[in-house]
Chains A and B, each alone.
Chain A
């Protein structure tokens, strides 16, 4: 029987990963927080990490932009969009991914299948820091949270809940951790950027608010407050919270075992032990 052994919430700023790879002291705090995630993941002794993420226009664009898609393959590599970052070959748990797709489609979630894909910085920038040996298999699930229309928070939470059931129902011998990649407030290249940079955090208080709700385990409130209006003011990458909401749906709501916001970066680091 497959078993859900914990969950992680992971920011994925590629420039942070790059600075860590270069030994830059300016990101010492982020390095410390990634180390906490690494320790949490190690404690979970996971065979496979299912990662909810947002394709940054690297995989899906011209032919189709699926609202939900899963990677069913044997291996992958990347990060494809940041060649200056450390590059990795990774094992994909195609067996579990196939079982998840079948179970979720049977439940009414139209989850597309990708059979050959590179992974972008949203997965491999942080995982390159957290598990540089890449000794955990990956299952990517992409939620289209950048390009409008994006799915609702309620739908993403339900998708995560179906994932939790699919893992429990799987006959595969696996210890499975679930992760979410992304920020709560972030603007890349758009009008809400800061005065100093091409990126910005237009709604830092929203990131703090979400982190407080994560700490108290009030997932229903996060879902209720993640409205289109809220996301519109929080930046063009703020839909990445939908990855977190899907991850949170995969297990019974309870307080994070640790959560730490970085207000000025619009995101948080968090981990959950099983309920």
Chain B
């Protein structure tokens, strides 16, 4: 299973205004129309705005953040950031400790 389908959805948000509008008005239908086809899990996570889980699955963060920038799937940039920080709290603690140790 490739995360490419998710990355492509996020990219189209920026370069394809009609797709962004469809995603705003009927997210489920827009995501079902995406090609290559999203897996059920990918579609559910997108609909839930669960960017933390999508990040764990390997989605490209630069592309993923566009969902927040364009305020789609219930996200804002602030909510996007909050969810990524929450998901990666263990790594963030470790990085902070490493920096203090330097």
Contacts and interface: CB of A to CB of B under 8 A. Distances in A.
Interface of A: 56-58, 61-62, 80-81, 146-147, 187-193, 195, 197-198, 202, 236-237
Nearest to A120: B14
Contacts of B14: 57-58, 81
A198 B81 contact: yes
By secondary structure, the B interface counts as helix
A246 to B, nearest CB: 21
By secondary structure, the A interface counts as loop
B84 A193 contact: yes
Interface residues of B, number: 24
Nearest to A62: B8
Given A189-B64, A190-B84, 18 more contacts: A57-B60, A57-B62, A58-B14, A58-B15, A61-B7, A61-B11, A80-B15, A188-B61, A188-B65, A189-B80, A189-B81, A191-B55, A191-B87, A193-B84, A195-B85, A198-B81, A198-B84, A236-B62
A187 B95 CA distance: 14
11 contacts: A56-B62, A57-B60, A58-B15, A61-B7, A81-B14, A81-B15, A187-B61, A188-B62, A191-B85, A198-B77, A236-B62
**Considering residues A58, A188, A195, which has the most beta carbons from chain B within 10 angstroms of its beta carbon?**
A188
B92 interface: yes
**Considering residues A61, A81, A189, which has the most beta carbons from chain B within 10 angstroms of its beta carbon?**
A189
B65 A198 contact: yes
A142 to B, nearest CB: 15
Contact of B68 (A189, A191, A236): A189
Contacts of A237: 62
